[in-house]
Chains A and B, each alone.
Chain A
């Protein structure tokens, strides 16, 4: 029920006050942000059931009130070094709308959640070229807040269709190697 209410509320206010709001979180010393409209909830670290035959960044699946959702480790997703879980480690439950109208829900493990910030469009700059190290399509832009720069993520790209295709690709790869 809470979920439905929230989505309704989100729909109601969408493109309104919440449009420029971003949830910022940390991965190591780096600050990242996601649109608050894409965040369903934040929960503490729970036991996650590992999945075989998936890339290392797929930590497994967990039970979100009766629904099983996949959980990824954002550190590993962005090829950062793995870290021990701390008191602050938590799971951000993100949702993205697929092109076919369905909704993808996925948990993302982050080191810690910071705050919800207003970042007006004017304060968002397109991401500079980093070379091929970091796929640009994951990045919405660079948000400038006070003296910090926050990497704003394109969630649909991080957890959405392409991600799925990639996981599928990774599995095919494993299978091919096995065959």
Chain B
């Protein structure tokens, strides 16, 4: 049955027995010995040792040779748990704990992403199969997968990968349960990682089982094997008590209560209890509707999901008793759902009974009274029997209810006593931790943030107006002046703070990418070095948040498809080590982020071939005439991929769709430049809406402009000797480094004012990329930080102007886009020269 199967069988048996159930213990001990021999045979000494220990311990318990039976049994369960983790560890290579900062950021982002996916899944379900929604879910999951990859969460990555495959092959029936199951699992994962970055990933068998149920037969085969074997072994202990359905239960004292070890309980149990109650209420409602309408499969699904969710969350919160009941009920419901057994009144009764019992168990978490141990056992047995199509009546069922009342009048059992205070004390820390977390960061809508920044901007202007008011400036009272300057200081601080709320550098994003490159390169077996430029460029926080996804995809594509393997590079005469450049700069009225690789470049032919296959291009068109830009644009279509095989890194054709959508959502654009054999450049152009720049305020006539300080090399007042005229039109100035053309700002901007004589004004040497030139202005007024604003929605992009800024006097000054300006100017001079 394999090592895994043995471990699962033992784990299941351990859940179903306890220290008082001798028969269960005997079979458990047998299973453990079997496991030990399996483990020795398969060369897993750790598991062998652990399971041997556990087997010996359970023998001791059976013989009652231990003092504290319960504690000993707990140790048995722990040993089995250790075996499970050991085998999981053996399965997946031990992962190094991910970068804590990245992890925290990822977990935070998951808090938004997972509910979104769930919401979409539910939407897809309620609206029937909606192509767009499904595509959206797939994109999200694809992104999630990529992120998991970065964080070395191999299990999560493979779960997402499978889910993605599932959605791909789903056709008309959208696998909502699978999506929701994965969401639950991911949530469990993030919660666990949130507490301990090095924690192992939660057990995937449950989630895989859901995935499995939806997979088309061809895909099932490879994954099906281990789970199928697990299924048969899991069934084994349930078949054994066939002869006497309640065998072993009579040994349980009539008034023994269920115990739950809450000592190590999670702080999240409070939340769980709340949620679980909601789920139970939903399930009960659905069951009641089912009584009236037993053919409604969807209602069965609702109930199933409720139990399933409870089981999942309880599982990782380490609440085995809840898992036990929820699992049994879920198992039964699954059979009903797949029409293996009919939905009878008996099943509904059992489901309601499970719901009640779960309610009681959950009540224990908040200090409620524990249900009776025997009741729980009987219910589980009955559920299991029902799975096999047998209806077991509860022995002496009617007696059960009034007992609870009676019990509460008597002295409560020690167990109840013990659990109550623990649960109560647990409540308080939960709350304080929650508030502490909330204080660290607050999600605020950008609208409010914008409103605040705008208001502060107005405040600054209003304050200046007061200070500069002629009447106020005649006041010479020391107190007035002091108070005014105090006010000024506060306003400035306030402005700075409100600005800084929104601005972050690209540093953390780029660091994340460095890690990604390393991991992807390692996975693909390539040597890639990353060069980063401009990580100090500040961007609006929400822009930075949004560009993470597209960047991940672009970089993954570049590493996986762009850069060739070393031997191929060597053959092509390139440096064996591939280079990836990540660059950010202010340019052309926007922020441009480029991902450049020196790989093989995009293959025009392959893209065109695919386009023709998909019917995107008229077959009659002469493919040689289609411009590169159009050809490369097809790459952004959803589902467009020229990759021959889908790897777990990329190749499905989802990534570039994500890229374009995210960037378009930011009102940006993305372009591809590529030369076959030389490499490609993906450049994202993002708007500057709220970016801050350091600018030089310059004057031309009455007009003021802001030139980004970044682009100014230096400024100087030229002498007549430095100037040269070319053909009576083009002006040149000689500087140390050579000759530079002079562009007059007033001419580029068609102004009728400003200095005419170059020697009366100033020349600014501007530099952008490889282009350098002098721009002539009247004078420099000063340097200041400005908030870049766009020039109203209705304005199309004006070349040479990247936006506007509101100056201290409330007037608008245009911000010069140096790239666009030099281009326009160069264009018009070539023209004049030609004429």
Which of B457, B813, B831 is close to A49, meaning CB atoms less than 8 Å apart?
A: B813
Contact B794 A66 (CB under 8 A): no
Cα–Cα distance between A159 and B810 once the two chains are bound (Å): 24
Contact A159 B703 (CB under 8 A): no
Range class of the B interface residue count:
20 to 34
**CB within 8 Å for A67 and B789 given contacts A52-B800, A179-B827:** yes
> Which residues in A have their C-beta under 8 angstroms from that of B41?
none
Name 6 A/B residue pairs within 8 A (Cβ), A-sorted.
Answer: A51-B791, A51-B814, A53-B799, A67-B454, A70-B792, A163-B794
Cα–Cα distance between A51 and B813 once the two chains are bound (Å): 10
Task: Looking at the assembled complex, report how far the CB atom of A140 sits from the nearest CB atom of chain B, in whole angstroms.
Answer: 20
Docked complex: B747-803 residues within 8 A CB-CB of A = 748-751, 789-796, 798-801
Cα–Cα distance between A61 and B751 once the two chains are bound (Å): 15
> Which residues in B have their C-beta under 8 angstroms from that of A50?
703, 751
Which of B789, B798, B831 is close to A54, meaning CB atoms less than 8 Å apart?
A: B798
Which of B792, B796, B801 is close to A52, meaning CB atoms less than 8 Å apart?
A: B801
Contact B811 A49 (CB under 8 A): yes
B812 is an interface residue with CB less than 8 A from chain A: yes
Contact A171 B798 (CB under 8 A): yes
A65 is an interface residue with CB less than 8 A from chain B: yes
A62 is an interface residue with CB less than 8 A from chain B: yes
> Which residues in B have their C-beta under 8 angstroms from that of A85?
none
> Which residues in A have their C-beta under 8 angstroms from that of B796?
164, 167-168, 171
B213 is an interface residue with CB less than 8 A from chain A: no
A to B contact number (C-beta, < 8 Å): 90
B735 is an interface residue with CB less than 8 A from chain A: no
Contact B827 A65 (CB under 8 A): no
Task: Looking at the assembled complex, report how far the CB atom of B801 sits from the nearest CB atom of chain A, in whole angstroms.
Answer: 7
Which of A52, A62, A66, A104 is close to B748, meaning CB atoms less than 8 Å apart?
A: A52
Cα–Cα distance between A177 and B796 once the two chains are bound (Å): 18
Task: Looking at the assembled complex, report how far the CB atom of B753 sits from the nearest CB atom of chain A, in whole angstroms.
Answer: 10
Task: Looking at the assembled complex, report how far the CB atom of B704 sits from the nearest CB atom of chain A, in whole angstroms.
Answer: 8
Range class of the A interface residue count:
20 to 34
Cα–Cα distance between A54 and B798 once the two chains are bound (Å): 8
Contact B458 A66 (CB under 8 A): yes
> Which residues in A have their C-beta under 8 angstroms from that of B455?
66
Task: Looking at the assembled complex, report how far the CB atom of A36 sits from the nearest CB atom of chain B, in whole angstroms.
Answer: 21
> Which residues in A have their C-beta under 8 angstroms from that of B457?
66
**CB within 8 Å for A102 and B811 given contacts A51-B798, A51-B801:** no
A17 is an interface residue with CB less than 8 A from chain B: no
**CB within 8 Å for A102 and B806 given contacts A47-B811, A66-B455:** no
> Which residues in B have their C-beta under 8 angstroms from that of A60?
812
Contact A102 B793 (CB under 8 A): yes
Cα–Cα distance between A22 and B748 once the two chains are bound (Å): 41
Which of A65, A70, A103, A178 is close to B791, meaning CB atoms less than 8 Å apart?
A: A70
B589 is an interface residue with CB less than 8 A from chain A: no
Task: Looking at the assembled complex, report how far the CB atom of A155 sits from the nearest CB atom of chain B, in whole angstroms.
Answer: 12
Nearest B residue (CB) for A159: B794
Task: Looking at the assembled complex, report how far the CB atom of A112 sits from the nearest CB atom of chain B, in whole angstroms.
Answer: 24
Q: Which of A49, A65, A168 has the most CB of B within 10 A?
A: A49
Cα–Cα distance between A36 and B791 once the two chains are bound (Å): 25
Contact B792 A68 (CB under 8 A): yes
Task: Looking at the assembled complex, report how far the CB atom of A49 sits from the nearest CB atom of chain B, in whole angstroms.
Answer: 4
Contact B795 A51 (CB under 8 A): yes
Which of A167, A175, A179 is close to B795, meaning CB atoms less than 8 Å apart?
A: A167
Contact A167 B794 (CB under 8 A): yes
Contact A178 B801 (CB under 8 A): no
